[in-house]
């Protein structure tokens, strides 16, 4: 089974520039998540999709971050304009469905490391 694919793996930009990250989840996984992980901290949920609908985007800084999952498969996370504090690893994860089941394991991608100068 292919894993969660993310690109690019690394990106360095200057503040106020824009950047986009791409995620292709495991085939058949309905739920897709974007997490922000700042160095030394646990991942923080930015947005959760169920198919192509948004389930939770309460912690997404909507003035600069946007995400879409148009066909219910792959997803794009965009930051525009970037700030210094956006330097982090952006993790994409997917699971079969969301529900009260211990079998719903999240599979994470390797992440996209963003450095904002």
Partner 1 sequence: KNQVEQSPQSLIILEGKNCTLQCNYTVSPFSNLRWYKQDTGRGPVSLTIMTFSENTKSNGRYTATLDADTKQSSLHITASQLSDSASYICVVSAVSGNTGKLIFGQGTTLQVKP
Q: Which positions lie near partner 1, rule CB under 8 A?
A: 4, 40-45, 55-56, 91, 93, 98-100, 102-103, 105-111, 113
Structural contact between residues 23 and 112, judged by C-beta atoms closer than 8 angstroms: no
Question: Based on CB atoms, which residue is closest to partner 1, 39 or 63?
Answer: 39
Question: Based on CB atoms, which residue is closest to partner 1, 17 or 107?
Answer: 107
Instruction: Give the C-alpha separation, 101 to 108, whole Å.
Output: 18
Min dist CB 108 to partner 1, Å, is: 3
3-state secondary structure of 116: strand
Min dist CB 110 to partner 1, Å, is: 5
Beta bridge partners of 79: 19, 65
Question: Based on CB atoms, which residue is closest to partner 1, 8 or 14?
Answer: 8
Question: Based on CB atoms, which residue is closest to partner 1, 58 or 71?
Answer: 58
Min dist CB 5 to partner 1, Å, is: 11
Min dist CB 111 to partner 1, Å, is: 5
């Amino acid at each position: 089974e292919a894993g969660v694919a993310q690109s690019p793996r690394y990106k360095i930009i200057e503040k106020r520039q824009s950047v986009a990250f791409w995620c292709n989840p495991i085939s058949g996984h309905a739920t897709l998540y974007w997490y922000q992980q700042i160095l030394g901290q646990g991942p923080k949920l930015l947005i959760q999709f169920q198919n192509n609908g948004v389930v939770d985007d309460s912690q997404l800084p909507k003035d600069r971050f946007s995400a879409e999952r148009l066909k219910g498969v792959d997803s794009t996370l965009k930051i525009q304009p970037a700030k210094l504090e956006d330097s982090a690893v952006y993790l994409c994860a997917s699971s079969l469905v969301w529900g009260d089941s211990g079998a719903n394991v999240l599979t994470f991608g390797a992440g996209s490391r963003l450095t904002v100068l």
